[in-house]
Amino acid sequence: MSQEDLFKHALNLQNPWQIKSIEFSNEEKRLDIHIDFEVGSRFECAVCKTSNCTIHDTKDRVWRHLNFFQFKTYIHARVPRTECKKCGSIRLINVPWARRSAGFTLLMDSLILILAQNMPIQSVAEIIGEHDTRIWRVLSHYIPESRSGEDHSQVKVVGVDETSCAKFHKYISLFVDLDRNKVLYVCEGKGSNVITSFKEDLEKHNGAADKIEMFCSDMSPAFISGISEQFPKSSITFDKFHVMKMINDAIDQVRREEQHRNAELKNSRYMWLKNPCDLSSIEKKTLGSLKDMNLMTAKAYNFKLSLKDFWTFNDALLAEDYLKKWYYWATHSKIDPIIDAAKTIKAHWSGIVNYAETKITNGVLEGLNSIVQSAKSSARGFRTTRNLILIIYLRLGKLQFNLPI
């Protein structure tokens, strides 16, 4: 088998395409493969798909391909422009190894998408040996294309949360299908308008507001009003992790105020915030000693532990009865931050009690936070909010791509 035949099989070239020549440059670590078509060939019209169109002229094109060992590989070809007698157009044909107007082959596009799912874009660019703007162009093509074919007609349970994406208080909101653990929609902002935006996107993908049975969200007034207005048939369950974070913030406020009078509380913050099962043996001993000192922080901590038991109930009536007792003792605790937290719970009562029956949380969104934080804390930032949204769809959207790999 000649080297031309070898590369023709490797590239899966079909007639009338054939290998014209192959050039190795050991100095430049480069492989150039020149492809051409047989004399007298006819091609399909790129506009109306009419076959056997004659060639009007050709245009020289070059595509970056997968490396051949340590050699950067490039494919060169004369791409015909056909003259179609049926529709009258004169257009470049679609070649089988690359998408239209692309600078990479389909196999290179596939590799980029695979790498981008698991590493920073700058690292992908370094491995490929191209500027990261070329990598973003590939993602900007395939991700919206894949999303356009998404079917959301079976979506019934949705989680919504916001996260900061840059300095100066810029936020994005995420909507997740909690049954399938996949991101459905991401947009800038965190106001009630993002709920409207999600509804519009849902309907573009065969979804319907009337089919959404439940939402899980934090206690954001904007989310609550938006859901009530745009999805009136949906119930809301407030995310238990946000409720417990509110209690942890209350405990920390008590600790900060009390440590001015009790030096032993300094450097103890994270012990009070952890769950007992996550404490080290040293932390358990230290925390035990602090709890024996009759501190207000320890009393606030006990309200956290008792509220954790609420989430274990599977019956809404029993859960509500337990929460009523917790609320009574919390509001009579004489600990202002705990009283304030209890009043917030009272204001969101039904959405918190709903957890006993729905058992839904936004826990799947925890995986997103690592993506956002790694982008913000390194020089590999996403530059624009649009790019960050692309990465979220790529890594958490469970998208399907019509590519060779």
Query: How confident is the model at residue 378, as a pLDDT?
Result: 44
Q: What is the pTM of this model?
A: 0.88
| Distance between CA atoms of residues 162 and 240, nearest Å | 15
Q: What is the pLDDT along the chain (405 residues), one digit of tens a residue?
A: 678 778 888 888 999 999 999 999 999 999 999 999 999 999 999 999 999 999 999 999 999 999 999 899 999 999 999 999 999 999 999 999 999 989 999 999 999 999 998 888 999 999 999 999 999 999 999 999 999 999 999 999 999 999 887 665 789 999 999 999 999 999 999 999 999 999 999 999 999 999 999 999 999 999 999 999 999 999 999 999 999 999 999 999 998 888 888 777 787 788 878 888 888 888 888 777 877 788 888 899 999 999 999 999 999 999 999 999 999 999 999 999 999 999 999 999 999 999 999 999 998 877 777 777 666 554 355 778 898 899 999 988 999 998 886
Say whether 6 sits in a helix, a strand or coil: helix
For the chain, how big is the Rg over CA atoms in Å?
Answer: 29
Domain boundaries in the chain? Answer: 3-145, 157-239+364-396, 240-358
Question: How many whole angstroms separate alpha carbon 224 and alpha carbon 195?
Answer: 9
CATH, domain range 157-239+364-396: 3.30.420.10
Q: Strand, coil or helix: what is 99?
A: coil
Q: Which residues contact 192 (CB under 8 A, 6 or more apart)?
A: 222, 223, 225, 226, 229
Helix (H, G, I), strand (E, B) or coil at 71: strand
Q: How many residues does the chain have?
A: 405
**What is the structure's pLDDT at 381?**
59
Q: What pLDDT shows up at residue 272?
A: 79
Q: Does the bond joining 80 to the residue before it have cis omega, within 30 degrees of 0?
A: no
In this prediction, residue 279 carries a pLDDT of 82
What gap in Å lies between CA 343 and CA 123, rounded to an integer?
48
Query: Alpha-carbon distance 213 to 155, whole Å?
Result: 9
Cα(60)–Cα(78) distance, rounded to whole angstroms?
5
